[in-house]
Structure 1
Amino acid sequence: MKKVLFVCLGNICRSPLAEGLAKHLANEKGVSDQFYFDSCGTSRYHIGEQPDDRTLKNAANNGIKLDHQARQFEKKDFRDFDYILAMDAANLSNIKILDQAKQFGDKLYLMRDFDPNNPGADVPDPYFGGEQGFQNVYDILERSVNNFIETELI
Structure 2
Amino acid sequence: MSYRVCFVCTGNICRSPMAEAVLRARIADGPLDGLVEVDSAGTDGWHEGEGADPRTAAVLEANGYACGHTARRFRPEWFSRLDLVVALDAGHLRELRRLAPTEEDARKVRLLRSYDPAADPADLDVPDPYYGGADGFEECLEMVEAASEGLLAAIQEQVEEQAA
Aligned-partner SS, 2:39: strand
Match of 1:53 in 2: 54
**Whole-angstrom distance in 1 between the partners of 2:52 and 2:126:** 17
**Whole-angstrom distance in 1 between the partners of 2:89 and 2:154:** 20
Match of 1:149 in 2: 152
Kindly provide the amino acid, as one letter, of the partner of residue 64 in structure 2: G
Query: Which string of whole-angstrom CA distances, capped at 9 and with x for unpartnered residues, describes residues 33-81 of structure 1?
Result: 1210000000011000000000000000000011110000101111111
Q: What are structure 1's unaligned runs of at least 5 residues?
A: none
Aligned-partner SS, 2:34: helix
Aligned-partner SS, 1:113: helix
Match of 1:128 in 2: 131
Kindly provide the amino acid, as one letter, of the partner of residue 52 in structure 1: D
Which of 28-37 and 86-95 deviates more? 28-37
Q: TM-score, normalised by structure 1?
A: 0.94
* C-alpha deviation, 1:96, in angstroms: 1.5
Match of 2:110 in 1: 109
Q: 1:119 to 1:33 in 2, by over 3 A?
A: farther
**Contact 2:76/2:101 (<8 A) preserved:** no
**Whole-angstrom distance in 1 between the partners of 2:149 and 2:95:** 25
Percent identical pairs in the alignment equals: 34
Match of 1:96 in 2: 97
Which of 82-91 and 137-146 deviates more? 137-146
Q: TM-score, normalised by structure 2?
A: 0.89
Match of 2:25 in 1: 24
Kindly provide the amino acid, as one letter, of the partner of residue 135 in structure 1: E
Query: Which string of whole-angstrom CA distances, capped at 9 and with x for unpartnered residues, describes residues 9-41 of structure 1?
Result: 000000001111111111122422121000000
Query: Which string of whole-angstrom CA distances, capped at 9 and with x for unpartnered residues, describes residues 112-151 of structure 1?
Result: 1101211551011110111111111101101112221122
**Whole-angstrom distance in 1 between the partners of 2:149 and 2:69:** 20
* C-alpha deviation, 1:105, in angstroms: 2.1
* C-alpha deviation, 1:100, in angstroms: 4.9
**Whole-angstrom distance in 1 between the partners of 2:58 and 2:96:** 29
Which of 25-34 and 107-116 deviates more? 25-34
